[in-house]
Amino acid sequence: MEKYDEYDRPSVAADIAAFGISTENSENKRLGKVKKLKLLLIRRGAEPFSGKFALPGGFLRKDETIEQTAQRELTEETGVNGTKFISFGIYSAPDRDPRGWIISSGYLALLNTVALTTAENSDAAQAFWFDFSYSDDGGSKKITLTSGSDKLEIINGNGYISANELAFDHGRMIFDAFMKLRDEVLYHNIVFELLPELFPISDLQQIHETITGTKECAANFRRKMKDKITETEFFEETTAHRPSKLYRKN
């Protein structure tokens, strides 16, 4: 047998970038509802980085996989249950955590709208849903997170990340997580994990466009999604206009 016991062992954590979609009344219009992309952060109550925001996370236990760690810690810390967990990277710089040698495995967690509503009513006082927005002006890329009066910025200029208001290397983690989410939406039909089982096409389109940064008319979007979804007999309710048919993922 190899001598693996002679090697030092780090503490291993999972940090979770949990994304969800909320439905909110838009500001100016009389009746419009808008879908917004949200990211779940917690305000740290202890040193280091006390008072700063961080991804929820926790330590790996002996009898579980890191994906299970991510599921467990997300629920424990924020009262939220994810529908899908996807690994997006491993963070292992020796000095990334001032408490000691702690490496972290980043997990993307996707929540459908129902789960998001639950979380807002949960008693996890120090967990907050931040509005998520992304822009890329060709040169530097920027993520803006807002929740009430809190506004956090993550700027990626040529690979160098600046994110002062975030704890640890969580600025980079959030950036990587969103890029992974974007790729998965663009190329692997993961959007549906952010929706309930039955949904109108307009919701699907709004979420898709929010994440990918694209914009196109309803007719074209319909055509492209045609073979990925199936029409049901149900209709949206409580609308002030023509209700839309509900669809189901294939």
Residues that bind DNA (CB under 7 A): 29-32, 200-202, 216-220, 222-224, 239-245
112 touches a second copy (CB under 8 A)? no
Backbone angles phi, psi at 173, to 5 degrees: -60, -45
Q: Please, which residue, 62 or 242, has the CB nearer to DNA?
A: 242
Residue 248 C-beta: closest distance to a second copy, Å: 21
Whether the Cβ atoms of residue 23 and residue 35 lie closer than 8 Å to each other:
yes
Residue 129 C-beta: closest distance to a second copy, Å: 24
Q: Please, which residue, 86 or 163, has the CB nearer to a second copy?
A: 86
CA atoms of 88 and 245, how far apart (whole Å): 35
81 class by beta-carbon count within 10 Å (0-12 exposed, 13-18 middle, 19+ buried) = middle
Residue 89 contact, options DNA, a second copy, none, Cβ 5-8 Å cut-off depending on partner type: a second copy
Three-state secondary structure call for residue 165: coil
Q: How many CA atoms lie within 13 A of 245 on its CB side?
A: 8
Residue with tokens 């909320």: 22
Residue 100 contact, options a second copy, DNA, none, Cβ 5-8 Å cut-off depending on partner type: a second copy
11 touches a second copy (CB under 8 A)? yes
Q: Please, which residue, 36 or 44, has the CB nearer to DNA?
A: 36
CA atoms of 191 and 205, how far apart (whole Å): 10
Per DSSP, which regions of 121-244 are E strands? 127-136, 141-147, 150-157, 160-162, 199-200, 229-235
Residue 118 C-beta: closest distance to DNA, Å: 24
136 touches a second copy (CB under 8 A)? no
Interface mask toward a second copy for 22-51; x: CB under 8 A? ------------------------xxx---
Kindly tell me which residue out of 103, 155, 198, 225 binds a second copy, with binding defined by CB under 8 A: 103
Q: Of 135, 201, 125, 143, which Cα lies nearest the Cα of 19?
A: 143
Give the strand pairing for 245-249 and 11-25: unpaired
Residue 247 C-beta: closest distance to DNA, Å: 8
Kindly tell me which residue out of 102, 124, 198, 229 binds a second copy, with binding defined by CB under 8 A: 102
**Region of 5-13, 199-207, 218-226, 228-236 interacting with a second copy (CB under 8 A):** 5-13
78 touches a second copy (CB under 8 A)? no
